[in-house]
Amino acid sequence: MIVCKQCGHHNEDNDTFCGSCGKFLEWSGERVVVAEPEPKPVVAPETEPEPAHLGLIDRVKHAVGLEEATAQPAAPAGIDGASEGTPAPATAAPPPAAAAPPPLIMRSVPLTSVTPPAPLPASVATAPAPEPVLAGVAAAPIAAGQADEPMSRRPSSIAPAAARPRATPRTMETPTRRHPGDLICGQCGEGNDPIRHFCRRCGNALDEALAVQLPWYRRLVNRLFGVRTRQAGWRPQRVGPPNVLGGVWRIVRLAIGAIIVVALLAFLLVPSFHNAVVDRASKAFTSLRIALRPNYDPVHPTAATATSAVGGHLPALAMDGFSNTYWAARASDRAPVLVLRFSGPVDIAAIGFRSGASGTAPADAFTSQPRPRTVHLVFSNGYTSDLSLIDQDATQPTQFTKLPDGKARQVTFVEIHVQSMYAPVGAPVSSVAISEVEFETKD
């Protein structure tokens, strides 16, 4: 552990910069070694004495019998029970024998023993050691007055020092750690603990550092199937009956996972199931898109009839797509009805009206003819609706009215019953005038 002297922050042994103040730890850090308790003295087990080891020479002497004991000495007088006063019996003295040679005794000397060198005689004087001389440098002559000075004060020649090689540029190594939650240094890419303020390698500030984050699929797998880490000392504490719901939920999750795997394999390997899934998904996506962000396309009728019509203003002019033509009912027709037919069943989502007369003749002025105010719509599928129309010129954009979803489906014709009108200026020549009726379908 390295302790920063500037702020007192504890850093790891392999950190280069302080994690709190960013100081260079080789200058402002102090390595602290945690003292370990002294181990207890180990008691050496008692060992039995080893038997004496006989050397080669001892074994040879023992084999040839050279280590026999010497002759026993003569016993002193008076030991055999004879008193001092009792004279010994007179016996003939044996002739003197020649003296026996002393027994030969051999001793072994270790090979490692060396005879100490003999001391030198006092008359031999020890020569003083020569002074050290640097290689390639001539020895400086010693003056007469310098002979008594110590060696440390005598001037000497100094050899030139060798040039120190320049330090090679330090190459940045690859990051050593990348753990989830670590802060990535933007300068060297090293991973740092989330509590650090400066990079552990280069000392760069970690204010804008990005945190390492696992991909979403790995987080999901770890959440579903990963092993939960517990704190030290954790023990399961069960209160009450066993958690049956937890086991059931675990079985349900496994069953759902198995169903998903089987469905995925069937989608990839069974063509009929693949097509059915694609069609169902396409319809569901289209329905959702239509409900959230629909597209409206125009749909045109193919035929038109009415209860009455003024000459030159037939019912077909209400669906021709031109704004300067119109359908006009006779003045005697108090309940005019316009019927528009389609070529096939359609789903109508909106309907729009352009009311009143339109044209260049004075009789075709907008205010000269009555305009529909309220109409009653009857669709071929039985759906009915009442609409209130805005009294605006036919040259203005058509105002569409949205119909409820799914009400006007599979429609083949629409009946438009005019119930009330806006009054004209002057004497009218018709009971009502409609310039254009438009329909839209949702896609």
Residue 304: strand pairing partners = 340
Tens of each residue's pLDDT in the chain, 443 residues: 888 888 888 888 888 888 888 888 888 888 877 666 666 676 666 665 655 666 777 777 777 766 554 444 444 444 344 334 334 343 444 444 444 455 444 443 443 444 444 454 444 444 454 554 444 444 445 555 555 666 666 666 666 666 667 666 555 566 677 777 788 887 888 888 888 888 888 888 888 777 777 788 877 877 777 666 777 777 766 666 667 777 888 899 999 999 999 999 999 999 999 999 999 999 998 888 878 888 889 999 999 999 999 988 999 999 998 888 899 999 899 899 999 999 999 999 999 999 888 877 877 888 888 999 999 999 999 999 999 998 888 778 888 899 988 899 999 999 999 999 998 888 788 889 999 999 999 88
- Amino acid identity of residue 50, one-letter, is E
Main-chain dihedrals φ then ψ at residue 377, nearest 5 degrees: -100, 135
Structure tokens at 115: 């005879």
Residue in 334, 336, 332, 344 with CA at minimum distance from that of residue 318: 336
CATH class of 296-442: mainly beta
Cα distances (angstroms) measured from residue 287 to each of 405, 406, 407, 440: 11, 12, 15, 17
Exposed (0-12), middle (13-18) or buried (19+): which is 115, by Cβ within 10 Å? Answer: exposed
Residue ranges of domains in the chain: 1-35+177-223, 254-293, 296-442
- Amino acid identity of residue 92, one-letter, is A
The sign of the dihedral angle between the CA atoms of 165, 166, 171, 172 is: positive
